[in-house]
Amino acid sequence: MPSGPLRGTIRVPGDKSISHRSIMLGALAVGETRVTGLLEGEDVLSTAAAMRAMGASVERIGEGEWSVHGVGVGALLQPEAPLDMGNSGTSTRLLMGLVSSHAIETRFFGDASLSKRPMGRVIEPLSQMGAAFEAAEGDRLPLTVRGANPAVPITYRLPVASAQVKSAVLLAGLNTPGVTTVIEPVPTRDHSERMLRGFGAELEVEIDSEGVRTIRLRGEAELKPQTIEVPGDPSSAAFFIVAALIVPGSELTISNVGLNPTRAGIVEVLRQMGGDITELNPREVGGEPVADLLVRHSALMGIEVDPAIAPSMIDEFPALFVAAALAEGTTVTTGLEELRVKESDRISAMAAALTLAGARVAETEDGLTIHGTGGEALAGTGQAGGAVVTHLDHRIAMSMAIAGLASKAGVEVDDTRPIATSFPVFEALLEEVSG
Ligand code: S3P
């Protein structure tokens, strides 16, 4: 729907990546881990259910407040039934790592979107560690992992910039004798490293003069239970940042936004485009940098986005494309091949969606080139055009809902249910601030 200005203050829910990891590591630490600010989205609930199926106690005590009693590294039980991963790539790939060094057999399945996503990228290093896999064609779900015990420590250089692959190998390394090493030529989100250290694992990170990171984890680790406060998710905040920038008259404060440098690329790029974003009250929450963001409507300018920044905003490109569609001039993005294997092919899904909403977009192999309106509202989907196709992808649904706020006729989205995987209160918050 076209909207009035966005005003007021909102607080976005907990970070999805950190929420998954707090439940997984809590489930491996003997004793009680307390988590506050946990994201209660479907993806994280899939992780919680899986850890329960493998013997941990994972209980909700109050809103965002959870208690986890872990079984200890090496003591995961074989689940009695296949694990339903729903829409969640993070649950699947990280848990594949975890079970790979346990003497159990685990079967994973998921929804239509997850069943299309490549798992070969984790099967390869985990096979080197000794685990055996039976997967559907193309190394996809459903698949079965037979864990190795003992597993073999490896040194693995990441062929793709992927925090999920890095984390899968490190989590397998937890129950592997000796030192498991991951070499990361391009830095990706480092929540696993931070949290593993917080839980008492012996983990060191060396960064060479070229920025290549070598992460070493000593296996047969003993994890100690923790109290964790999950900061707000910058990936969820991104939709509201873009909304406030593109809707005239907006002045919105988004509190408690995680600004880990491996995640904060979107703020930098939007500022390069002329976005007025002020960081207030910088502080640390749960070992992560956090601030409140004050965002004011801005006349955005198209830019060429440096592909080197992509890993630090890999989930925010759909929202950025919407900002670009309202900017003055042309925005060029390149080096985004990874976007084609997310919950949907986000390059083609966003090209189709924005075109339907009246934006001028050209799709390339590895990105989008977008000619912005210079601030004039998009036409919107209207009656004749039909609805935007979201392909079971929460971020396409939310991005296009935001685009609708800066359109004449509104944007119709075919399926809003996937929003519940990462941001169940998205629609309620949007209603609250858009007057
Ligand atoms: C995530 C890593 C990223 C990201 C995903 C969450 C994580 O995936 O897109 O939403 O929590 O480790 P890749 O590792 O495939 O880039």
CB contact set of 428 (below 8 Å; sequence gap of 6+): none
Q: Give the helix ranges, DSSP H, for 101-201.
A: 120-128, 163-174, 191-198
* Residue 426 confidence (pLDDT): 98
**Cα 90 to middle of ligand 1, angstroms:** 6
Give Cα separations from 365 to 18, 329, 340, 345, 371 (angstroms). Answer: 31, 21, 9, 11, 17
Atom of ligand 1 nearest to the CA of 21: 11
Query: What are 102-147's pLDDT values in tens digits?
Result: 999 999 999 999 999 999 999 999 999 999 999 999 999 999 999 9
Distance CA 44, CA 224 (A): 22
Atom of ligand 1 nearest to the CA of 315: 9
* Residue 382 confidence (pLDDT): 77
**Cα 358 to middle of ligand 1, angstroms:** 30
Query: Tokens 């919107």 map to which residue?
Result: 380
Atom of ligand 1 nearest to the CA of 164: 14
β pairing state of 227-229 and 31-36: parallel
**Cα 89 to middle of ligand 1, angstroms:** 8
* Residue 231 confidence (pLDDT): 97
CB contact set of 137 (below 8 Å; sequence gap of 6+): none
| Alpha carbon nearest to ligand 1 atom 9, residue | 315
The separation between CA 341 and the C-alpha centre of its own chain, rounded to angstroms, equals 13
* Residue 120 confidence (pLDDT): 98
pLDDT tens over the chain, length 435 residues = 557 899 999 999 999 999 999 999 999 999 999 999 999 999 999 999 999 999 999 999 999 999 999 999 999 999 999 999 999 999 999 999 999 999 999 999 999 999 999 999 999 999 999 999 999 999 999 999 999 999 999 999 999 999 999 999 999 999 999 999 999 999 999 999 999 999 999 999 999 999 999 999 999 999 999 999 999 999 999 999 999 999 999 999 999 999 999 999 999 999 999 999 999 999 999 889 999 999 999 999 999 999 999 999 999 999 999 999 999 999 999 999 999 999 999 999 999 999 999 999 999 999 999 999 999 999 999 766 799 999 999 999 999 999 999 999 999 999 999 999 999 999 999 999 987
Query: Global pTM?
Result: 0.98
Distance CA 399, CA 316 (A): 9
Atom of ligand 1 nearest to the CA of 235: 10
**Cα 290 to middle of ligand 1, angstroms:** 20
* Residue 286 confidence (pLDDT): 86
**Ligand 1 pocket test target in 15, 17, 44 with most atoms within 8 Å of CB:** 17
Q: Give the helix ranges, DSSP H, for 175-232.
A: 191-198
**Cα 188 to middle of ligand 1, angstroms:** 9
Distance CA 28, CA 174 (A): 10
| Alpha carbon nearest to ligand 1 atom 13, residue | 162
State the Rg of the chain over Cα: 21
Ordered domains of the chain (ranges, CATH)? 16-218 (3.65.10.10), 231-433 (3.65.10.10)
Which of these, 24, 34, 23, lies nearest to 227 by C-alpha position?
34
Ligand 1 binding site (Cβ under 6 Å of any ligand atom): 17, 90, 162-164, 167, 189, 314-315, 338
| Alpha carbon nearest to ligand 1 atom 15, residue | 162
**Ligand 1 pocket test target in 164, 263, 398 with most atoms within 8 Å of CB:** 164
| Alpha carbon nearest to ligand 1 atom 10, residue | 315
**Cα 242 to middle of ligand 1, angstroms:** 21
Catalytic residues: 315
The identity of residue 308, as a single letter, is: A
Distance CA 299, CA 245 (A): 8
* Residue 301 confidence (pLDDT): 98
Distance CA 137, CA 143 (A): 10
**Cα 397 to middle of ligand 1, angstroms:** 18
β pairing state of 57-62 and 330-332: unpaired
Atom of ligand 1 nearest to the CA of 342: 9
* Residue 3 confidence (pLDDT): 72
* Residue 2 confidence (pLDDT): 58
**Ligand 1 pocket test target in 314, 394, 398, 422 with most atoms within 8 Å of CB:** 314
